Chain A
Amino acid sequence: MNRRDRQRVGIFLGMVAPGLVIYLFIVAYPIFYSVALSFSDFNPNAGGAWNLIGFTHYQTMIQDPYFWHSLKNNMIVVGVSVFGQIPLGLLLAYILYRKMVKGVNFFQSMVFLPQFLSTIVIGLLWRRMFSADGPVATLMQWFTGDPRAQFDLMLQADTVMYPIGFALIWMYTGFYMVIFLANMQKIDGEMLEAAMIDGANEVQVFFRLMVPLLAGTILVSTILAIAGSLKGFDLIFAITTQGLQRNNAMVLPIYMYQTAFQDFTNPMRFAYGSAISNAIVVVSFVLIGISNWVGKKLDPEEV
């Protein structure tokens, strides 16, 4: 290596270094730290020393009813986004794409808006909307004529996920709509016109032509939806009040947060919390694998 080459390497490394160092230190290193922590007996209440102790925390987790409860709620959230937000987003995008409504830009920016507002603020707003005697309850009183009607879905363990599901659809459908719309606009319009001339109606064009053509985009969106719903923390944290209600609606990231940062008497709080957050990653890889497999089964060529 001559002097000029060495200088070039130096320049290259100098340009890359500041960002790369921060990245390795803050993003890459904690991944290994997290894995190690979940196999350790790190006790923050008794100094810093720690040993690797194997799968103990994962065994605790499998027997932990709260873990399964949170996982179940997380699966509901995944279901709402994969079978709610994505089909609705697809439908809305198709309506805009076919120009069935005027003011495409207006509608697009309205539906897309909640995506960019603070999830915490949205959660607090919907907590207010869904409170027992809040705006939604008042609407119910008008429609039913019963002045004492209350909105109690948030208060019961077996119904709390319905209003939360509604808020999730309200918040994120626009995101998928924009992705689908952009990909529809890349499709050759002549194909659709040919189908229309052959007598296909909108419903047939949508299901027979648009959905297969967008199979790849739908799969990518499904993966995004799964990953996003499994790590989503803010909305459910803000929409519920601390205590019983939040426990009823608990999802894995909230369980992880409560274990690590609120359960101060638990000496294994960071180790067990890391085990939970690694479980989130594992579950999302499994679900993404499944959706890839399903995608290939359904449409071996497109995907």
Chain B
Amino acid sequence: MLAKISPILAYGVFLSWALITILPLVWMGYSSFKTNEELVRDIYRLPNALIFNQDHEFQVIARSLNVVLNYDPETDPRERIILESTTVAPTRRLMVYFLIKEDMPPAIQALVPGDKLVLRDLPFGTRTRIGWEMIWFNYSSAFIRGTLAQKFVNSLIYAGLGTLFIVFFGLMIGFSLAKLGFPRLSKVISALIGLGYLLSINSVIIPLFLLLRRIGLTDSHLGIILVYTAFGLPMSVLLSTQFIKGLPDSLIESAYIDGASTLRTFVSIIVPMTIPVIITISIVNALGIWNEFLLVLVLASSEATKSLPVGVFSFSSLTSQQLGWQLAALVIAVVPAMAVYFAFSKQLTQGVVGGAVKG
């Protein structure tokens, strides 16, 4: 009896778990292409208004101060016909497109402010261009209004350089502890660094802030990278010491006999052989830094140093009425992490099992 029910039960449990994991993310994904109005009207319907909807209606508006131009009228004097959507934030000048008047057919050239037209009325090339711009409306708005491009680059810098230092310094210490002798000193150092396993950035954020403020490293890339490096070292040292201990001593001895210096042995023999561990350390740390929040929230006071999670968070508090933009910002932050996850899920699993990730 039980044997017959249990597979059904097992599938039931896993399928519902997988669905509960995936469906919110799927909803977030397709909803990020919906307009605010669509999201309010029916929260589950598929996007329509922005996806090459030929009936999407526009109104011709006059140039005024609150229209942000996408061209410089000083250098480009050609006259424009300005269109604004009548359904997406009408009269708020958020969704505005420009047509060069002289390139348009006579019927459109004749339009004056106040006239209405639908996407279908436009000539084919223009229709396609505006169609694509409409699809990415939420994304381009989030990128421009939340200056997310800059925060994306900052997050890349933190994750990239932080991981580089973690790997490099961690490997240097791991190699010294494992192969250079000095057993007692090595034990002291590895115990000292092992203590860092018990700590997280959250538990010492106040002294860290005061310390970095005194030496003027708050709100700077360097300060943030230093903190990430220091807190990534315990795991990096632990894993690389374990791994390098397992490499045969004869490798290093023969390098010495050939006249290589310690540094040279490290760079040209140890580093290439440690690649599997380097990959695990890199992915786990890069993802961890990419997703970290509190440190940057506390240290970064200007837009120039904020990371993507902090940018997305403050963007979503500032634009609480623009659901579509917020969802687009969430997708922007999640997609790179998901790509790394699916590309390296084997190494990530190994890293977690090997004690690399703290719960």
A interface residue numbers (CB < 8 A to B): 8-9, 11-12, 15-16, 18-20, 22-31, 33-34, 37, 91-92, 95, 100-101, 106-121, 124-126, 128-129, 133-135, 138, 170, 172, 175-176, 178-179, 182, 201-203, 221, 224-225, 227-228, 231, 233-234, 237-238, 242, 253, 256-257, 260-261, 270, 273-274, 277, 280-281
Min CB distance B218 to A, Å, is 12
Selected contact of A25 from candidates B10, B230, B317, B348, CB within 8 Å: B230
Min CB distance A65 to B, Å, is 22
B interface residue numbers (CB < 8 A to A): 2-3, 6-7, 10-11, 13-14, 17-18, 20-22, 24-25, 27-28, 43-44, 169-170, 172-173, 175-177, 180-182, 185, 189, 192-193, 195-196, 198-200, 202-211, 226-227, 229-231, 233-234, 237, 262-263, 266, 287, 290-291, 293-294, 298, 308-310, 312-313, 316-317, 323, 326-327, 330, 333-334, 337-338, 340-342, 345, 348-349, 352-353, 357-359
Min CB distance B308 to A, Å, is 8
B6, A273: Cβ atoms under 8 Å?
A: no
Q: Nearest residue in B to A277 (C-beta to C-beta)?
A: B203
Min CB distance B214 to A, Å, is 8
A118, B24: Cβ atoms under 8 Å?
A: no
A121, B202: Cβ atoms under 8 Å?
A: no
Query: Provided the pairs A16-B176, A37-B207, A135-B27 are in contact, do residues A110 and B21 lie with their beta carbons within 8 angstroms?
Result: yes
Selected contact of B262 from candidates A15, A18, A23, CB within 8 Å: A15
- B195 partner residues in chain A, CB cutoff 8 A: 28
- B230 partner residues in chain A, CB cutoff 8 A: 22-23, 25-27
A12, B176: Cβ atoms under 8 Å?
A: yes
How far is B357's CA from A241's CA once the two chains are assembled, in angstroms?
29
A129, B24: Cβ atoms under 8 Å?
A: yes
How far is B193's CA from A117's CA once the two chains are assembled, in angstroms?
27
Query: Provided the pairs A18-B172, A134-B43, A203-B2 are in contact, do residues A273 and B345 lie with their beta carbons within 8 angstroms?
Result: no
Min CB distance A254 to B, Å, is 10
Selected contact of A23 from candidates B193, B291, B298, CB within 8 Å: B193
Min CB distance B302 to A, Å, is 16
Q: Can you list 10 pairs linking A and B with CB atoms under 8 Å apart?
A: A27-B231, A30-B204, A31-B204, A31-B207, A33-B211, A111-B14, A118-B291, A224-B358, A233-B294, A274-B206
A101, B11: Cβ atoms under 8 Å?
A: yes
How far is B25's CA from A111's CA once the two chains are assembled, in angstroms?
13
A109, B211: Cβ atoms under 8 Å?
A: no
B353, A30: Cβ atoms under 8 Å?
A: no
B204, A277: Cβ atoms under 8 Å?
A: yes
A27, B172: Cβ atoms under 8 Å?
A: no
Query: Provided the pairs A15-B176, A118-B309 are in contact, do residues A172 and B359 lie with their beta carbons within 8 angstroms?
Result: yes
How far is B333's CA from A30's CA once the two chains are assembled, in angstroms?
31
Min CB distance A255 to B, Å, is 12
Known: A26-B211, A124-B313, A138-B44. 8 other contacts (CB 8 A): A12-B180, A15-B173, A37-B207, A117-B334, A118-B333, A120-B309, A227-B198, A253-B294
Query: Provided the pairs A118-B309, A118-B333, A270-B210 are in contact, do residues A128 and B2 lie with their beta carbons within 8 angstroms?
Result: no
- A274 partner residues in chain B, CB cutoff 8 A: 206-207
Min CB distance A169 to B, Å, is 10
Min CB distance B340 to A, Å, is 8
- B349 partner residues in chain A, CB cutoff 8 A: 108, 112, 178, 182
How far is B337's CA from A115's CA once the two chains are assembled, in angstroms?
11
- B293 partner residues in chain A, CB cutoff 8 A: 118-120, 233-234, 237
Query: Provided the pairs A16-B176, A117-B334, A277-B204 are in contact, do residues A22 and B233 lie with their beta carbons within 8 angstroms?
Result: yes
How far is B204's CA from A253's CA once the two chains are assembled, in angstroms?
11
How far is B337's CA from A224's CA once the two chains are assembled, in angstroms?
23
- B313 partner residues in chain A, CB cutoff 8 A: 120, 124, 238
Sorted nearest first, the 5 A-B pairs with minimum C-beta distance are A19-B169, A224-B359, A26-B230, A100-B10, A33-B207
B359, A175: Cβ atoms under 8 Å?
A: yes
Selected contact of B291 from candidates A18, A119, A228, A257, CB within 8 Å: A119
B21, A111: Cβ atoms under 8 Å?
A: yes
How far is B22's CA from A99's CA once the two chains are assembled, in angstroms?
22
Query: Provided the pairs A124-B330, A201-B3 are in contact, do residues A92 and B13 lie with their beta carbons within 8 angstroms?
Result: yes
B334, A121: Cβ atoms under 8 Å?
A: yes
How far is B355's CA from A224's CA once the two chains are assembled, in angstroms?
10
- A119 partner residues in chain B, CB cutoff 8 A: 291, 293
Q: Nearest residue in B to A274 (C-beta to C-beta)?
A: B206
Q: Nearest residue in B to A261 (C-beta to C-beta)?
A: B298
Min CB distance A297 to B, Å, is 23
B345, A109: Cβ atoms under 8 Å?
A: yes
B205, A11: Cβ atoms under 8 Å?
A: no
Min CB distance A148 to B, Å, is 15
Query: Provided the pairs A22-B229, A118-B293, A227-B358 are in contact, do residues A201 and B2 lie with their beta carbons within 8 angstroms?
Result: yes
B237, A19: Cβ atoms under 8 Å?
A: yes
How far is B298's CA from A260's CA once the two chains are assembled, in angstroms?
10
Query: Provided the pairs A33-B210, A118-B337, A234-B294 are in contact, do residues A182 and B353 lie with their beta carbons within 8 angstroms?
Result: yes
- B226 partner residues in chain A, CB cutoff 8 A: 22, 26
